[in-house]
A = this chain, B = another copy of it.
Amino acid sequence: MASVNKVILIGHLGKDPEVRHLEGGNSVANFTMATNEYYKDKQGNRVERTEWHTVAAWRGLAELAEKYLRKGQQVYVEGRIRTRQYQDKDNQTRYVTEIIAEEISLLSNRPATDSAQPVVAAETPTTFRQEPELDQLPF
B5 touches A37 (CB 8 A): yes
Q: Report if A114 contacts B (CB, 8 A).
A: no
Q: What is the bound-complex CA distance between A93 and B129, given in angstroms?
A: 35
Number of interface residues of A (CB under 8 A): 54
Q: What is the bound-complex CA distance between A134 and B4, given in angstroms?
A: 26
| B residues near A37, Cβ cutoff 8 Å | 5, 80, 135
Residues 69-94 of chain A, each 1 if its beta carbon lies under 8 Å from chain B, else 0: 00000101000111100000010001
| B residues near A12, Cβ cutoff 8 Å | 3
User: Nearest Cβ in chain B — how far from A30, in angstroms?
Assistant: 16
Q: Report if A115 contacts B (CB, 8 A).
A: no
Residues 101-139 of chain A, each 1 if its beta carbon lies under 8 Å from chain B, else 0: 000011111000000000000000111110111111111
List residues 1-37 of chain A with CB under 8 A from any CB of chain B: 1-12, 34-37
Q: What is the bound-complex CA distance between A84 and B137, given in angstroms?
A: 30
